[in-house]
Structure 1
Amino acid sequence: MKPLDPRLLRRARAARLFLAASVVIGVVTGLLVVVQAVLLARGIAGVVLRGDSVGQVAWWLVAVVVARAALVWLQEVVGQRAAAAVKSTLRQQVLEHSLKLGPAWLSGERSSALTTLLTKGLDDLDPYFARYLPQLVLAATVPAGVIAWMATGDLISAGTVLVTLPLIPIFMALVGWATVAHSRRRQHALAVLAHHFADVVAGLPTLKLFGRAKAQAAAVRRVTDKHRVASMASLRLAFLSSLVLELLASISVALVAVGVGLRLVDGSLGLETALLVLILAPEAYLPLRQVGTQFHASADGVAASEEVFRVLETPLPSRGDRTDVPDLRVTSLHLHDVTVRYPDRAAPALEGFDLDLWPGEVVAMTGPSGAGKSTVLAAVLGFVVPERGVVVAGGSAADEFEPGLWRRQFGWVPQRPGLLVGSIADNVRLGRPAASDEEVRQALNAAGAAELELDTPVGEQGRLLSGGQRRRVALARALLTEAPVLLLDEPTAGLDAEVEAGVVASLRATGRTVLLVAHRPALIAAADRVVEVGPRELVMA
């Protein structure tokens, strides 16, 4: 793990400002350390050798101590604010990048792991900025100033410190390698725990229905124990490494003290110089010891940031910038030899698929599960990039157009519609925010959801609604849009025959182009054409 990941500086302006402020604070702290040591040595030597008063020196010492305390407070404040700003920046960048990567990429990610990363995971950056980085700056500035000042009074002591000081970072690096491995295991254990817990909560109604809810308690307990063991291993390593660094620093200071004592007794070293060396020697080792201690507190945050950068460095699919998107009300849509392959699958999800979609017609796609019907819709929307082939509209490839403008041509109902917390009306208006209550009501009626009130509450991911109601709300949202083409993935799943007949009639009455995935006979019978999707496509009139 790098002490300071340059990607943080590139992606977060607050990190650059914080580092500059930390350097200034570190330099001033180093000067104050030297001043404090000089004042103490001079004051003690003056009292012992000359019987001087300590009044003036004491006031200066108080001023230096107050100044050092103020710098520590300032460093903490700057660190906490920088951490908050960097976390906010990284979260925003990850969310924006994830949206640009599209649903195809998100489907391959564990949503619970990504949520944990953006919440608890990034919160672990607080100790990294508030404690580890400031100590890293102090370790780069204070020892150099202390050794330089010691050399002006006692070269032998300065040389001793200079020789023993590198031992601390060497041992710190050896311990750090083990710490990184433990932190990654802990981060993985936390992600597994979050994913498992989210799965159990999502499936709790089904588990309760079949009397299997209590059986999951043991599984959750096992995953929790793995996270506990990983966390305790990291904590144990942190204590042991602190002991090693403290012992090494104590032995090094003892070497300096023995040399100073012998030369002081011999008379070759003055009392004031000896006191100055003895006071400064621990200050040379302290920043490096603190870096080792704070390294463990920051390791989890840095491990989380590596996951963030993994997401941010995932290349985006090619995006066009043309704004002259053809009007699909009057322009046909063509798919030529489209082949799509997902990274986690050996076989292509869709191979050599051809389709001509003419304005105003209703086309149903049928085929076995996994044949690639949903992939066809994703390719049309630009959520997946074909390995071979092209989607064409108006004589131009769809990937030449700006994605946002291209997708406005489509109203989409996926296999698992996404609904937000709010009311029925709020979710339907996502298709057209300026729509009136009357227009929302008409869209719900056309989708076969006449019994739903506009102010009916909707929970997270459509909780409080049945599966059929969620699908009808999503269909109403698509119908409310002014998009000329509707892409519908099993729009009548979960509906009874009477409601389904009404939905089919409404779709025909819109006069829009409709491309739908269908398994139910009523939908297939209502289509102008039926396209069989599979290893070998057959188009039937």
Structure 2
Amino acid sequence: MMRHLVLTTGCGVVITGSAIAAAVVLAHLVAGLITDPASRTLAHCAVSLWVLVALWTIRTLAQWAQARVGQRGATAAIAEESRRLLAGVTALSPRDLAARRDDVATLSTRGLDALRPYYTRYLPAVVQAAVLTPAAAATMAFYDLQAAVVVLIALPLVPLFMVLIGLVTAERSAAALTAMTTLQSRLLDLITGIPTLRALGRADGARRRITELADAHRRSTMATLRITFLSSLVLELIATLGVALVAVSVGLRLVYGEIELSSALTAILLAPEVFWPLRRVGAEFHAARDGRTAQEKAAALLDGTAPPAHGTRTPSGTSIAIRDLSVTARNGDAPHRLSVDVEPGSVTVLTGPNGAGKSTALHAVLGLTAPTTGRVLVGGVDVGDLDPGQWWSHIAWVPQRPALIPGTVGENLELLGPVVHLEEACRRSGFDEVLASLPDGLDTVIGRDGAGLSLGQRQRLALARAFGAHRSVLLLDEPTAHLDPERERLVLQSIREIARDGAAVLVVGHREAVRAVGDRVVTVGGEHHVAA
């Protein structure tokens, strides 16, 4: 970004030089035409005209180059901000990420894109104001000191009103971003629930609600635009009055013969160049304010979300020991002092009421959630001391909502790596029946989150992926929640077979059939939990 800023500044210097030189040349040319009849020939004016054309061409090319550099710089800066945001939020624990879901959705979709006007229009305007305004004022003072004094008296009014207006705009932009975040969150929730509402015959209510949210967003946007237009009007009025004061002062002195025509015209032509950069800064400030607000929101979101320091050790075994594990939640510790051993060749089942911390225990085993108290040991090594990539390469995890990407069924089956013995993995999970019913088999395309498959089919796909990965640790969160009894029996039998093959299996489940498959069953939700 520094390179783009240097190039923008260089273009601003060229624009400034060509603008001031063109004003001086034009003033002397016009003054000569008025005061010297002998100079009113094309041959006499040719050199000045060619110089003007060259200066205007240079200024136009410099402005084009500045805009191009600004676009490239904006693209690079937004990409970097998005990368930092993505890296920051993916380092969050699932619980923290869920708490920040609305802000993440807004910033990652359209919030940071509002930074583009900041880099393409506001920063070049600031550079122009820092270079052109002092240079034009100094040149004006050289030709007409009194006009320069008038300008210096009127000029501070522009930044003064910019500050006052900016305070209002900043507050309005923050409110607009908050409103957009809330509206987008509600809209996403409504759109996600439309299939369910349609099934219940309640889709009309969702349509009305979406219309209400759209109207609320429109009102918020129009309120921001009103402030923008009114503030631009104020800045334009101040700049116009400043130029008018210079013109009146110069005109009166010109009438009384107190100033030469060339100097008077130079002062009049330079007066707009003095006010124009600051006026542009004020106008572009509003366009950039939303982006800066989004950037500040992203910085606040990432503050304190740095990923915990992970070790570099490789797990020496796959036996898992959970000792007095507690993770602080909004409603207390969940789980509360959980202790259990998960040994290779056995199935351990965690059961208990909703909210007791069963899924949180799986996250702690994965290293996604740091324990508040207690430890998770893998082969005698604390999970926090393990290299995450090395540890995860041993694990096949099926969460309550399996991760499925837009693409083919085959691509989703290989998210954990190539599936070993695909037919066996599909048979063990019951996904072979699903494949047989799909129009293109493994080449069937599904949408985001498995759109095109039923909940049970998505679950069986995730189970086939986990079974075919042949990992030494299997973590399953409600693996049969969307399956009928017959297919549940098939999956649970497969889990037992995988455990007998030497895998350490930890299952979260409520159903009696799931509890029955466990070699150890631990009820999470009491004061102390130790597997017998």
Partner of 1:5: none
Counterparts in 2 of 1:297-312, with a 5 A limit?
297-312=287-302
Displacement of 1:462: 1.3
Displacement of 1:262: 2.6
Of residues 178-187 and 502-511 in structure 1, the stretch that sits farther from structure 2 once superposed is 178-187
- DSSP 3-state at the match of 1:392: strand
- DSSP 3-state at the match of 1:203: helix
Unpaired runs of at least 5, structure 2: 436-441
Partner of 2:438: none
TM-score (norm 2): 0.93
Partner of 1:12: none
1:71 maps to a residue whose letter is A
Partner of 2:448: 460
Partner of 1:485: 473
C-alpha contact 1:319 1:403 (8 A) present in aligned 2: no
Deviation by residue 1:404-439 (Cα, 9 ceiling, x = unmatched): 21222221111111211222222111122x336xx2
C-alpha contact 1:182 1:230 (8 A) present in aligned 2: no
Partner of 2:112: 122
Percent of matched pairs sharing the same residue: 41
1:333 aligns with 2:320: yes
Deviation by residue 1:297-354 (Cα, 9 ceiling, x = unmatched): 22222222223323343422422232332221xxx21112211013xx1422222221
1:60 aligns with 2:51: yes
C-alpha contact 2:395 2:473 (8 A) present in aligned 1: yes
1:528 aligns with 2:528: no
1:299 maps to a residue whose letter is R
In 1: Cα distance, 2:219 partner to 2:302 partner: 30
Partner of 1:348: 333
Of residues 145-154 and 316-325 in structure 1, the stretch that sits farther from structure 2 once superposed is 316-325
Counterparts in 2 of 1:58-207, with a 5 A limit?
58-110=49-101, 113-207=103-197
1:22 aligns with 2:13: no
In 2: Cα distance, 1:166 partner to 1:479 partner: 72
Partner of 1:43: 29
Partner of 2:263: 273
Displacement of 1:167: 1.0
The alignment of Structure 1 onto Structure 2 pairs a total of residues equal to: 518
1:368 aligns with 2:353: yes
- Deviating above 4 A after TM superposition, structure 1's stretches of 4 or more consecutive aligned residues are 538-541
2:231 maps to a residue whose letter is S
Partner of 1:3: none
C-alpha contact 1:425 1:440 (8 A) present in aligned 2: no
Displacement of 1:224: 1.2
1:231 aligns with 2:217: no
Of residues 21-30 and 416-425 in structure 1, the stretch that sits farther from structure 2 once superposed is 416-425
In 1: Cα distance, 2:45 partner to 2:443 partner: 78
In 2: Cα distance, 1:320 partner to 1:123 partner: 33
C-alpha contact 2:335 2:360 (8 A) present in aligned 1: yes
C-alpha contact 1:362 1:514 (8 A) present in aligned 2: yes
Unpaired runs of at least 5, structure 1: 1-14
Displacement of 1:539: 4.2
In 1: Cα distance, 2:207 partner to 2:469 partner: 45
Aligned-CA RMSD value: 1.7
Deviation by residue 1:452-479 (Cα, 9 ceiling, x = unmatched): 2233432210111111111111111111
- DSSP 3-state at the match of 1:364: strand
Of residues 318-327 and 227-236 in structure 1, the stretch that sits farther from structure 2 once superposed is 318-327
C-alpha contact 2:28 2:262 (8 A) present in aligned 1: yes
Partner of 1:318: 308
C-alpha contact 1:532 1:539 (8 A) present in aligned 2: no
Report the CA distance shift for 1:48/1:456 in structure 2 as closer, same or farther (over 3 A).
closer
Deviation by residue 1:233-258 (Cα, 9 ceiling, x = unmatched): 11111111111011111111222222
1:442 to 424, 431, 452: 424
Displacement of 1:62: 1.2
